[in-house]
Amino acid sequence: MALTRSSENPILTRADIPDVPPGIVDATSVFNPGAVMHDGRHLLMLRVQTRGRETFFMTAGSDDGTHFEVSPHIVPIRGIDRVAGTVYHSYDPRITRLGDTYYVMFAMDTDAGCRLGLARTTDFATVDFVGTSGTDDIRNGVLFPEKIGGDYVRLDRPNRVSFESGVTSGDTIVLSRSDDLIDWRPVAPVMRGRLHYWDELIGPGPPPVKTREGWLLVYHGIATHLAGACIYQAGVALLALDDPAEVLARSRNNILEPREPYEMIGQVPNVVFPSGMIVEGYDEQGFADPDGRVLVYYGAADTSVGLATSTVGDLLAACGD
Ligand code: BMA
Rounded mean pLDDT of the chain?
Answer: 96
pLDDT in tens, 100-114: 999 999 999 999 999
| Closest residue CA from atom 1 of ligand 1 | 169
- Stated as kind and residue range, the H or E segment containing 289 is strand 288-300
The reported pLDDT for the residue numbered 212 is: 97
The reported pLDDT for the residue numbered 168 is: 82
CATH architecture classification, 10-318: 5 Propeller (2.115)
The reported pLDDT for the residue numbered 166 is: 80
List the chain domain ranges: 10-318
Distance in Å, CA 31 to ligand 1 centroid: 10
Provide the residue-wise pLDDT of the chain in tens; the chain has 321 residues. Answer: 799 999 999 999 999 999 999 999 999 999 999 999 999 999 999 999 999 999 999 999 999 999 999 999 999 999 999 999 999 999 999 999 999 999 999 999 999 999 999 999 999 999 999 999 888 888 999 999 999 999 999 999 988 888 877 888 899 999 999 999 999 999 999 999 999 999 999 999 999 999 999 999 999 999 999 887 899 999 999 999 999 999 999 999 999 999 999 999 999 999 999 999 999 999 999 999 999 999 999 999 999 999 999 999 999 999 998
| Closest residue CA from atom 4 of ligand 1 | 302
Residue to mutate, 48, 268, 297, ligand 1, most ligand atoms under 8 Å from C-beta: 268
pLDDT in tens, 38-80: 999 999 999 999 999 999 999 999 999 999 999 999 999 999 9
- CB of 106 sitting under 6 A from ligand 1: no
User: Cβ distance 159 to 108 under 8 Å?
Assistant: no
Which phi and psi (to 5°) does residue 19 adopt?
-65, 135
- CB of 273 sitting under 6 A from ligand 1: yes
- Stated as kind and residue range, the H or E segment containing 92 is strand 87-98
Which phi and psi (to 5°) does residue 163 adopt?
-85, 165
Go through 85-97 and write b for each residue having 16 or more CB atoms within 10 A of its CB, e for each that does not.
eebebbbbbbbbe
pTM of the predicted model, to two decimals? Answer: 0.97
Ligand 1 atom nearest to CA at 271: 6
Report the candidate in 276, 278, 266 with the shortest Cα–Cα distance to residue 302: 266
pLDDT in tens, 149-179: 999 999 999 888 888 778 888 999 999 999 9
The reported pLDDT for the residue numbered 41 is: 98
